[in-house]
Amino acid sequence: MYVAVKGGERAIDNAHAWLAEERRGDPDLPLMSVAQIRAQMTLAVNRVMAEGSLYDPDLAALAIRQARGDLIEAVFLIRAYRTTLPRLGASVPLDTGAMAVDRRVSATFKDLPGGQVLGPTFDYTHRLLDFAEAAAVDPAPLAQPDPAPLPHVTQILDRDGLIEPIAPDDSPAPDLTREPLELPACRALRLQALARGDEGFLLSLAYSTQRGYGRTHAFVGELRIGRVAVEMEIPELGFSIEIGEIELTECETVNQFKGSRLEPAQFTRGYGLVPGQSERKAIAMSLVDRALRWQELGEDFTGAPAQDAEFVLSHCDNIQATGFLEHIKLPHYVDFQAELELVRRLRADAHTALQEAAE
């Protein structure tokens, strides 16, 4: 005898208990500490901080462990926690020119003031599985670099009028997490959305511009990674004080020029800025930013996905995307039942019509 399905609550409790067991894995192995994840899975921690829009390596490391290493799930945990935090204010604009640089490379000039600094990069490693790494051999300690402020490459181009000037803008930055996204979105808002957007999505979009879908001929003018002081204006004091330091990756691209016989040619800019060391994402972001600027730069809309702000901004958030995608595994009995009835009725109608036609 059938009775209506019951037991959802017990099923959920059991599923959670099983999940906890799977998460812990083999109990004979020691539990990974949050500090270990933070120290040794830094790039995963950085990605979770960037897409979670919350700069806190300890929480990001905790989220990664809780999410069993599923980074989008970890981003989700961070976002849900971030929701509950008050917004205290906005910092004064970060001065990335004063960045204490770990890495700084330019693809447009062989040498430049401050030089090329490779820093801790995978770039010239041979991707050979390192069996010494498996044996966990500690590397020899290095001398700490002495960071000195370095001028931006685009400043050098700007001085000669070779790149489009960007007027300083003191209007308060919009906050995507406090106001609903309205379209068309200004560049600041677009960049904000890209900065917390999914790395994979931005990578593919940027790649598509390189393959002709909204081509912008980008050069990496400069890519820099390092720590920057965060300052806040304290109204009671009347001046700003440093409240901490965060690691950032900044990418400035130098792109296809605009100009005419009357207007001298100038390079144009694309910009990417991501919390933590997140080079791939910063470069991708700057390419997508540049592609999205087609209108203000008087270019044609070729229908390329990367040019379409509404398309890009509506689909770059992986928490929105994964939630909606996965919701289709929730029950849809009611809607399916309605469709079932409809299809049966349509089939019956067609059957009758066929019979009538045959007679």
Enumerate binding residues for another protein (CB under 8 A). Answer: 1-2, 4-9, 11-12, 76, 79-80, 82-84, 86, 177-184, 310, 314, 319-320, 322-328, 330-335, 337-342, 345-346, 349
Identity of the residue, 179 or 236, whose beta carbon is nearer to another protein in the bound complex = 179
Residue 59: CB minimum distance to another protein, A: 14
**Tally of CA atoms within 13 A in the half-sphere of 105 that contains its CB:** 11
Residue 68: CB minimum distance to another protein, A: 16
* Residues 6 or more apart whose Cβ sits within 8 Å of residue 168: none
Identity of the residue, 47 or 196, whose beta carbon is nearer to another protein in the bound complex = 196
Residue 9: CB minimum distance to another protein, A: 5
Residue 251: CB minimum distance to another protein, A: 27
Angle at 90 between CA 51 and CA 81, to 5 degrees: 40
Residue 331: CB minimum distance to another protein, A: 5
Neighbours of 312 (CB within 10 A): 23
Element at 48 (helix H, strand E): helix 42-52
Identity of the residue, 23 or 345, whose beta carbon is nearer to another protein in the bound complex = 345
DSSP 257-323: EE--SSS--EEEEEEEEEESS-HHHHHHHHHHHHHHTTTTTT------GGG-HHHHHHH--HHHHHH
Identity of the residue, 60 or 163, whose beta carbon is nearer to another protein in the bound complex = 60
Angle at 31 between CA 30 and CA 34, to 5 degrees: 135
Residue 17: CB minimum distance to another protein, A: 15
ω into 264 cis (within 30 of 0)? no
Exposure string (b/e) for 57-68, b if CB count within 10 Å is 16 or more?
Answer: bebbbbbbbebe
Identity of the residue, 16 or 159, whose beta carbon is nearer to another protein in the bound complex = 16
185: nearest Cα among 95, 77, 314: 314
Identity of the residue, 124 or 333, whose beta carbon is nearer to another protein in the bound complex = 333
Identity of the residue, 4 or 358, whose beta carbon is nearer to another protein in the bound complex = 4
Residue 329: CB minimum distance to another protein, A: 10
Write out the two tokens for 129. 């599985």
